[in-house]
Structure 1
Amino acid sequence: MPIRSSPTARQLRFAAELRRMRERAGLTSAEAAGLLGIKPNQVSNMEAARFGVSPERVRSLAGHYGCTDPELVDALIAMAGARKVGQWWEEYRDLLPDGWLDLAELEHHALTLRDAISMHVPGLLQTPEHAREIFRQAVPELSPPEIEHRVSFRVKRQAVLHRDTPTPYLALIHEAALRIAVGGPTVAAAQLKHLLAMSEHDHVTIRAIPFSAGAFPGSGQSFSYARGPLPALDTVQLDQSHGVVFLDAEPQLAKYRMLLDRIEAVSLPPARSRDLMAGIVHNL
């Protein structure tokens, strides 16, 4: 089996879950290899996502590690599948950072998505004109082709909200992000009208965090929470200036679940959020 030169974040997450399963069993790599009848470096390679792992091997590992959760085993088998050829984000592999492609893959597989955004409109809800203006402000400056690649990628990510079975999505957006006139009044008005239209979909919930909320837990942060098939397989995505960061340790997941709940508690209900956005449009 050929060695993977660039495993995806999903493949790395699967490998990390195999390592956690082994560690919960109290086994070293060498001990696990002895149980499986393989070399220790093969265990290390599986846990580094250098090689694929067959469904049969996943079930064998789970049995030797004493994992009695069939839902977890089935979910890991689904994650263990080889990278599918032809997924739309693969077209961008040599054009954008790998982390961006990993984000698209994460969103594609998520059962639900929740965003908490402080200073900008979430990418899944941006119009092309809004996104284009955002990328024009990048440092270092991007060339026109680079900007267009990023805009088209961002728009294609939004397919998860428009497919036959769309992903349930909650966006918690601070009032500051709604009032920043990115691209000028015309672009800003079109962006707000797009938010209003999207908020009418049953699977999309947009809640504004008003200035009147003052300080609140997580204020100043922007992050996304992707629900997996089991809570242990959820993922948090942080959008940092140096690239995309994924978190999946249970204490981190628990922290961000709590943050989302507290942020949602200080946000306006959907109807009042729509009233706020409509008022901002009216005053542009």
Structure 2
Amino acid sequence: MAADARPDAGPGLFGPASVTWQMHGDPMMWIAGVRALYLQALHPRAVRGVLQNSDFRRDAWGRLLRTADFVGTVTYGAAAAAERAGARVRRVHAALTALDPATGERYRLDEPDLLLWVHCAEVDSYLTVLRGSGFPLTDDQADRYIAEQRTAARLVGLDPAAVPATAVQLAEYFRAVLPRLAAGPEAREVDAFLRRPPVPPPLRPARALLWRRVASLAYDALPPYAHRLYGRPAASPAHTRRRLVAAGTLLRCIPARLRWRLPPGHILRAMDRLGSGSRPSPYKLRGQTVILDAPGRVQPNNGGDGGRWRRRG
């Protein structure tokens, strides 16, 4: 069998030339994932379904890693592996229901409006956190990313044609869904958990030193309406931007191959499969973008491999 005919071969659903391929290799995706959890919890039906059907309270770390594994498989895995991962998610969602205490009725977790909310909250969080941290992305590239993510939406059971394909459409979606959002008891439970997750005693100093900063930054990066719904103050947008840039600069100083060895490790497997030219890198986007923090000045953000994102002369 030819190498490119094997089910575990090929570039996958996105490929090394996509914006998705470059973005999802960035370490700020972990902070973006926490922001997504905060945002998703503001949809009462969606968060109720999670809390009624999962071990979130006792296995939140496992849930976060499973989500990272799914995103990594869909982004960097071969097409067959991505399709299998999507099929598993669809089977799980189709089998689950939640009880609405207000009406006494049960509803399915694979309802399109719930899947769409989860999808859009993730896409918005990935874009907001990475761009805020200095990841070099033009508006056109942001639109490309949103359009590419309709492939991920299809895998979880959505009709791609019904999913936002541009930043304008994404903003319109959030404006339309805002009246249905609320920080009910389940959202406040998620908020309390994210601010102080249970950890073994030896890890409590790390929780105080590191995790609280991560959760605080993810919360501050939420849109203003989310802060109003949660009823907790947040840092100013300017201060949040400075912290995002600082976090991105610090995390990108960690050698990429070391970062990518952490679970779930999909990037290194993709590079083994496709060759070193498939390495995710913001430098592959820089020819199309310039990040300025004042007229004529380029932000000195480190790209993670000892270089700088600079304008080409």
User: TM (normalized to structure 2)?
Assistant: 0.25
Q: Which has more helix, going by share of residues?
A: 2
Q: Which has more strand, going by share of residues?
A: 1
Q: Looking at both structures, which has the greater relative contact order when contacts are Cα pairs under 8 Å and sequence separation is at least 6?
A: 2
Structure with greater Cα Rg: 1
